[in-house]
Amino acid sequence: MFIGHWAPAFAAAAVSKRAPKLGTLFIAAQLVDWAFFTFAIFGIENMRITPGITAMNPLDLYHMPYTHSLLGTLVWAIIFVGVLVLARRDLMTALIGGAVVLSHWLTDLLVHRPDLTIAGGENRYGFGLWNYPAAAIGVELALTFGAFLWYVSRTKGPVMPPWILLALLLAMQSINWFGPEPAEANIVFYLTALFSFGLAAWVAHWVGTTRRHKDDRGLAGASPRR
């Protein structure tokens, strides 16, 4: 799962005007991957390239207990909730952000081979859609397009910015699916992944500044007092 991770970010922004800004939600959706690739740089968690390990990509994610276990993801979600409570002083806003963080493990569960754990133990889980390209591509695109269209329908603002964001996500996903496979899991690979997350979050932040929730009438919608 790549751009499909951002589907819960779009959905959260659509469902409530109290949701964090779209850029913040994009960070939430990929927070555990931000942590994983940072940890991989320092050897705290590990992956390797194993051609053929799945039909769609060669990523052997063999050691990631602190980010991609269900318990680890829950801890990151709690941390994110705490940061948002301090920053926004709104528990509901923070809980929405935390739910988006937690969605990462669930969406990974759909596509990963069994390399996800509950708490870093030996039992590993994953439904393995990466071994069924047509199904994996269909699920990822359906999640992304469905959540994106819901976001656009539930917010108002200029037409072009969200479509520019969607075009960027589709371009990134096309490279992920159809570009050359990485030859080695090294710092260049890790930094490239982090750069892609940052670019998407930056553009999502810009999009969020151009739109507001339709339920948020704001000052312009208030009845003037006589």
Count of CB atoms within 10 A of residue 51's CB?
9
Residue 222's SS3 state is coil
For residue 221 the two structure tokens come to 């919608």
Output the CA–CA distances (angstroms, integers) from residue 221 to 21, 153, 215, 224, in the order listed.
21, 19, 10, 9
Q: Is 156 left (phi over 0), alpha (psi -120 to 50) or beta?
A: beta
Q: Name the H helices within 52-186.
A: 70-88, 91-111, 133-154, 160-178
Of the chain, the end-to-end C-alpha distance in Å amounts to: 55
Count of CB atoms within 10 A of residue 163's CB?
13
User: Using 50, 70 and 90 to split pLDDT, how confident is the model at 214?
Assistant: confident
Using one digit for the tens of pLDDT, what is the confidence trace for 53-75? 999 999 999 999 999 999 999 99
- Distance, in Å, from the CA atom of 220 to the CA atom of 102, rounded to the nearest integer, reads 35
- Indicate yes or no: pTM above 0.75: yes
Average pLDDT over residues 128-157: 96
Q: Round the average pLDDT of the chain to a whole number and report it.
A: 93
Average pLDDT over residues 115-136: 95
Given a cut of 50, is residue 79 above it in pLDDT? yes
- The amino acid that residue 101 corresponds to is V
